[in-house]
Amino acid sequence: MSRARAEIGDLVQDGTGRQAIVTDIKQGRTWVLRRPSGGTAHQWETHDPDSLHVLETRTSRFARQRDEQ
């Protein structure tokens, strides 16, 4: 069974161990990432989406945050 590919809004861990939110996917080839908190000032990209491990999907994150309120 293959691992789910990261989508926009997912919380992921990249190949270097950094946690990030996927903010954009450019032409299906470049995943744009940012830190989970602190805005978009520090972003980086990966061309290897298989190196991203999905920790929590966008849908799951939003549902959890809603339930915490």
Per-residue pLDDT tens over the stretch 6-26: 999 999 999 999 999 999 999
Give residue 1's pLDDT band: very low, low, confident or very high (50, 70, 90).
very low
Calpha distance 29→25 (Å, rounded) = 7
What integer pLDDT is reported at residue 23 of this predicted model?
97
What integer pLDDT is reported at residue 2 of this predicted model?
53
Which tens digit of pLDDT belongs to each residue from 20-56? 999 999 999 999 999 999 888 899 999 999 999 999 9
Q: Are 52 and 4 in contact (CB under 8 A)?
A: no
Q: Are 48 and 16 in contact (CB under 8 A)?
A: no
What integer pLDDT is reported at residue 39 of this predicted model?
81
Calpha distance 18→49 (Å, rounded) = 14
Q: Are 34 and 19 in contact (CB under 8 A)?
A: no
